[in-house]
Amino acid sequence: MWKVLILVLLFPFIALGADEILEFDSEQQAERYRTLIHELRCPKCLNQSIADSDAGISEDLRNIVYEKIKAGQSNKEIKDFLKQRYGDFILYNPEASGANLILWFGPGLCLLIALIWLVMRIKGNEKSVESSLSDEESDKLERLLSPENKSE
Amino acid sequence: MSQSTQPIAKMAIPALIVVALLFGLFFFSLQEDKPLVPSMRENKPLPPFSSKQLFGQEVISSEELKGDYYLLNFWGSWCPTCYVEHPYLMTLKDQGVRIIGVNYRDTEDKAKSFLERMGDPYEYSFFDPKGKIAIEMGITAAPETFLISPDGKVLFHRIGEMNSQVFEAAFLPLMKSQ
């Protein structure tokens, strides 16, 4: 514990992992690292980020992210590098492009279609009720609803 | 049928069709033995990488894997499934299949002890203690095996144990058809 405290005091821009103490050039770099490793998915695990996973591959991927941030690469460059090797699986937030558009907009579209169908059905029912009355029945209904009838 | 039950009956048929379709989709998705992570290296040229050779100082490169079919096998002495598949790799070697190893996240001492005990099916092995080659190839763990064509293209990526069923069903047809 004391060693960690001394390190924090000596090197203000560090990120602490499970077994890792990493040094960065700025707090902004350290923050980018912490955010990125939570946005990348462990390819060996079912539902863990590389930040949370103890798998060997996650440790290697964290090291790659660290090296690339230190080398001045942008988040997009790092994500593209990993996407080329692990596909969209590696990203916790799939990008809104290509086949992923179904994931992003599919639920909303289904809801919209269901709403349109519901509205059309309700309107259809109203029309069928109106049209189902004969002329004689309509006259009778009007008479019943007329103010004179109400006052009686 | 009374008038009030008619709309329910009308809705029931489409609802049943939707449920049946969803059930079919889930059933076939679960039946298919599809890897969780897509293999991004398949049908693409083997990427350039190099490392020190295991048990030596010579630097070896992926450029050398050309002119014949090769199996590129990721292994480690820490990996239980590598012990399971190793006897079959020895059989493949005896049958004339050329196998190149990538010793992954291991130490030279432990790797040496593993090969002395289990036999050495590899022509040589890349030494990849930090998993750089593994990430280059999109590896998730060991063992994983790639089939490389004579022109240096990745034809197939096997995640998991190599055995006679997998080799005969997936690797051999590709080696014969090219």
Of B40, B105, B130, nearest to A85 by CB-CB distance is B40
Q: Do B130 and A56 count as a contact with CB atoms less than 8 A apart? A: no
Residues 14-43 of A with CB under 8 A from B: 43
Tokens of A141: 């209904």
Per-residue pLDDT, A34: 95
User: Which chain A residues are Cβ-neighbours of B11 within 8 angstroms?
Assistant: none
| Cα B34 to the center of its chain, rounded Å | 12
Provide the β-strand partners of residue B59: B52
A61 in contact with B, Cβ within 8 Å: yes
- Give the pLDDT of residue B144: 97
A31 has pLDDT over 60: yes
Joined tokens for residue A118? 């519901």
pLDDT at A124 over 60: yes
CB B121 within 8 A of CB B9: no
Contact flag A84-B40 (C-beta cutoff 8 Å) = yes
pLDDT digits (tens, 9 = 90+) for A72-99: 999 999 999 999 999 989 998 877 667 6
pLDDT in tens, B6-53: 667 777 888 888 888 888 877 776 665 666 778 899 999 999 999 999
Give the C-alpha separation, B175 to B155, whole Å: 9
For chain B, say whether A89 makes contact (Cβ under 8 Å). yes
The answer on pLDDT for B68 being more than 80 is: yes
pLDDT confidence of residue A136 = 84
Mean pLDDT rounded to a whole number for chain B: 91
Contact B137 A44 (CB under 8 A): no
Residue B106 in tokens: 């291991």
- Tracing tokens 């996973």 back to the chain, one arrives at A53
pLDDT mean over B144-158:
97
Q: Is the ipTM of this complex over 0.85?
A: no
CA-closest candidate to residue B126, choices B152, B147, B99, B150: B99
Q: Show the domains of chain A with their CATH numbers.
A: 2-90 (1.10.8.640), 100-151 (no CATH)
Contact B38 A61 (CB under 8 A): no
Token pair listed for B134: 């593994």
Residue B137 with chain A: CB contacts under 8 Å? 85
Task: Say yes or no for a CB contact (<8 Å) between B130 and A87.
Answer: no
Residue A98 at interface with chain B, using a CB cutoff of 8 Å: no
Cis peptide bond prior to B143, omega within 30° of 0: yes
Q: Provide the 10 A C-beta neighbour count for residue A63.
A: 16
Helix spans in B6-153 (H) = 6-31, 80-94, 108-118, 132-136
